[in-house]
């Protein structure tokens, strides 16, 4: 057993993937997370824990950070974790604003039904005054959120485009990375199906990896 750095630490299971054989726990003191391997559960004769299970454990410092080396007790949550609901977008409006106000479609605003355009000073033409140019407003991009460390599996890496995607183990969008990201991480190449730890920035819909590490 590795040198124990903390004993009888209370933590909560963040997630555990039986097919991967490991997961992570959140430390109750808020100091971070710790790696949990299936062999530790087997040594304690414990089944695979569900999300929210409270454990009392011993920690040691591993190559990738804190890891659980022994479990003294495990208490499942009172209620099982509910499936995460995805946000649903509201339906798009099919009618124009003029229709919603009772205005017939295609009729200029401010013109009553049954009335035609009014001539200017008795003239025969129906010249319209030119519309003033609209002031274009530059769309401000939302600032990228703080970088977050997460875990996933390489879905694919294309040598021709020198880019790839990571499938996160938790719910969320796939994470983009390229050759430059691998070089900055000290890697030459990654293979499809490899498990990685990555640091991602950007929006939830389009995260980009800044660093990728093999685990």
For position 192, which CATH number holds? 2.40.50.140
The number of CA neighbours under 13 Å toward the Cβ of 10 is 6
Domain final residue, candidates 16, 44, 75: 75
Strands in 2-116 per DSSP E:
4-17, 22-27, 33-37, 54-62, 65-75
Contact 84, 57 (CB under 8 A): no
> Is there a domain that residue 141 lies in?
no
Q: How far apart are CA 11 and CA 56, in angstroms?
A: 6
Say how far apart CA 109 and CA 137 lie, in whole Å: 24
The answer to whether residue 89 is domain-embedded is: no
Mean predicted confidence (pLDDT) in 184-188? 90
Mean pLDDT, rounded, for 52-71: 90
- 105 within a domain of the structure (yes/no): no
Last residue of some domain: 75, 96, 117? 75
pLDDT band at 126 (very low <50, low <70, confident <90, very high): low
Give the residue from 75, 98, 116 where a domain finishes. 75
Handedness of CA 191, 193, 196, 199 (dihedral sign): positive
Residue at 140 is within a domain: no
152 falls within a domain: yes
> Could you read off the pLDDT of 75-97 as tens digits, one per residue?
999 876 665 544 444 444 444 44
What would the pLDDT profile of 27-56 be if each residue is shown by its tens digit?
Answer: 999 988 898 998 999 999 999 999 999 999
User: What SS3 state is found at 41?
Assistant: helix
How does residue 150 score in pLDDT terms, banded at 50, 70 and 90? confident
State the residue range of the domain holding 46. Answer: 4-75
Number of domains composing the chain? 2
Residue 56 lies in a domain: yes
pLDDT (tens digit, 9 = 90+) per residue, 128-148?
666 555 554 443 444 445 667
- Tell me the per-residue pLDDT of 93-124, one tens digit each, with 9 for 90 and over: 444 444 444 444 445 544 544 555 555 554 45
């Amino acid at each position: 057993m590795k040198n124990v750095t903390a004993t009888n630490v209370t933590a909560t299971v963040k997630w555990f993937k039986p097919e991967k054989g490991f997961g992570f726990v959140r430390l109750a003191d808020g100091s971070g997370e710790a790696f949990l391997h299936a062999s530790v559960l087997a040594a304690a004769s414990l089944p695979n824990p569900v999300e929210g299970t409270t454990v009392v454990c011993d920690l040691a410092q591993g190559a990738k950070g804190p890891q659980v080396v022994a479990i003294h007790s495990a208490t499942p949550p009172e209620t099982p974790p509910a499936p995460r609901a995805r946000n649903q977008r509201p339906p798009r409006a099919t009618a124009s604003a003029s229709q919603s106000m009772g205005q017939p479609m295609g009729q200029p605003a401010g013109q009553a039904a049954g009335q035609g355009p009014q001539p200017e000073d008795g003239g025969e033409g129906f010249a319209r005054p030119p519309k003033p140019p609209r002031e274009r407003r530059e769309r401000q991009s939302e600032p990228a959120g703080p970088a977050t460390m997460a875990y996933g599996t390489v879905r694919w890496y294309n040598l021709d485009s020198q880019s790839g995607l990571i499938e996160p183990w938790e719910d969320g969008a796939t994470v983009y990375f390229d050759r430059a990201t691998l070089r900055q991480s000290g890697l030459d190449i990654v293979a499809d199906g490899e498990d990685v730890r990555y640091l991602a920035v950007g929006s939830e819909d389009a995260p980009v990896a800044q660093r990728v590490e093999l685990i």
